[in-house]
Amino acid sequence: MKMMINCIQKSVIRIQTLSRASVCRGLSSVSGPKVCVVGGGPAGFYTAQQLLKARQDAVVDIYERLPVPFGLVRFGVAPDHPEVKSYGAEGNRSMGILGENLPGVFSAKDFVGWYNGIPANKELSPDLSCDTAVILGQGNVALDVARILLSPLDMLKKTDITQHALEALATSRISRVLIIGRRGPLQIACTIKELREMVNLPNTRADMLLSDFKEIGETLKDLPRPRKRLTELLIKAMNERNDKAEKSWSFRFCRSPVEVLAASDGKRAAGIRLAVNKLEGSGESVRAVPTDKLEDVYCGLIISSIGYKSIPIDPAVPFDHRRAVVPNDTGRVQDVSGLYCSGWVKRGPTGVIATTMNDSFDTARVLLQDMDTGKLDLSIKKPGAQAVAALLQTRGVRTVSFTQWEKINAEEERRGKPHGKPREKLLDVEDMLKIAWS
């Protein structure tokens, strides 16, 4: 699995001590500074990598609650993007509207977890018998979900998408996906790569509104180059017609969700009511202000992709509930000596691959600096992972080592081979443990 990613899973790092953990890797007895990394995703691995490169005498133990490591690299957004997987914090941002808890409404995080094999989402069972799906949000995650819903089955069969998701998509009747954003085309949050893949998706056509683009020509020449290229591709997609395509996708701009509309029996979602916005300001800082105009879109599937948020890891770790981050100064956790953070829990749910790596490297650099300057007292010898192992034993927690995880990995690869897939992911934690401990 390659660690090429857009967004990263949270990690909290503590020198020499840890209050709790569940599944671990590498209980080493080598002397040297001891670092505990909580969270086996890329943020943790990138930070650990830099620490080990700088301090060959360091001992880094990575703890992960699941029996499988790598976080978003395993549970990333798009199974057809093995080289670029994005995921992140554990919580969902609520839309805060009436009806959002009706059956038929899903967060992108959970929907992604369903087709990527997160054990907690294996029972999601979305109803794909409708013809129209609405995705709220216009970032890369939203486009990944749209692409999975509309992709030809033959394209997905060769990926590590879960078999139950593949079977559900095989009978899907969804032929139209609307991707809703509260601001305009000049503020769309996806990257040009993701947009180009939507434009080139077989048997689909873009179906956008000409009125959304009527004033763009005047400002196009003054846009920064990346934004200009993205906008030009949007305009090109709007102007190209493919009348033979059986499926369509489109962006709808200047729309905000107001209410999920229930079916006549009140038991599931049947549509969504949108406020039509007007834009105030200019450029990336433009604000969307709702008007009195409303639009109803009838659909059987609604996926909210408006962002993720981190959740508190432990009462002993400071947490800013408003910003959903651990308060910190360049990775140093506020008012707690020896505690550091990296990833989304450090800066919030933003960033691409360069941001991810640089952020983790910065945390490692600060941690190493504190070692070198004596801000961290490393003269006191502590048992490190040995103490954690003893604590877990008293709590009756049996761990999975990295070597034992390799048994899970081998079994998944074996199961995927008959289907021409790189792997068939195990979805049940108990099944993972049986194989790991066999």
Sign of torsion over alpha carbons 180, 183, 185, 187: negative
- Quick: pLDDT tens for 247-292: 999 999 999 999 999 999 999 999 999 999 999 987 778 899 999 9
Lowest mean pLDDT among 4-8, 61-65, 141-145, 399-403: 4-8
Maximum C-alpha span of the chain: 72
**Residues 147, 152: Cα–Cα separation, whole Å:** 9
**Residues 164, 426: Cα–Cα separation, whole Å:** 11
- Quick: pLDDT tens for 13-27: 444 333 223 233 333
Domain ranges of the chain: 11-73+310-399, 94-306
- Quick: pLDDT tens for 88-99: 455 556 788 999
**Residues 436, 425: Cα–Cα separation, whole Å:** 14
Structure-token match 């995705």, residue found: 135
Residues with Cβ within 8 Å of residue 338, at least 6 apart in sequence: 14, 15, 16, 17, 376
Topology of domain 11-73+310-399 in CATH is Rossmann fold (3.40.50)
Superfamily of domain 94-306 in CATH is FAD/NAD(P)-binding domain (3.50.50.60)
Query: Which of 253, 170, 163, 165 minimizes the C-alpha distance to 208?
Result: 253
- Quick: pLDDT tens for 308-362: 677 788 888 898 888 888 999 999 999 999 999 988 788 876 666 567 778 899 9
Which helix (H) or strand (E) segment holds residue 393: the answer is helix 385-394
Q: What is the pLDDT of residue 136?
A: 97
- Over 50: is that where the pLDDT of 147 sits? yes
3-state helix, strand, coil in the chain (%, to 5): 35, 20, 45
- Over 50: is that where the pLDDT of 9 sits? no
- Quick: pLDDT tens for 151-204: 999 999 989 899 999 999 999 999 999 999 999 999 999 999 999 999 999 999
Residue 263 φ/ψ, nearest 5 degrees: -65, 170
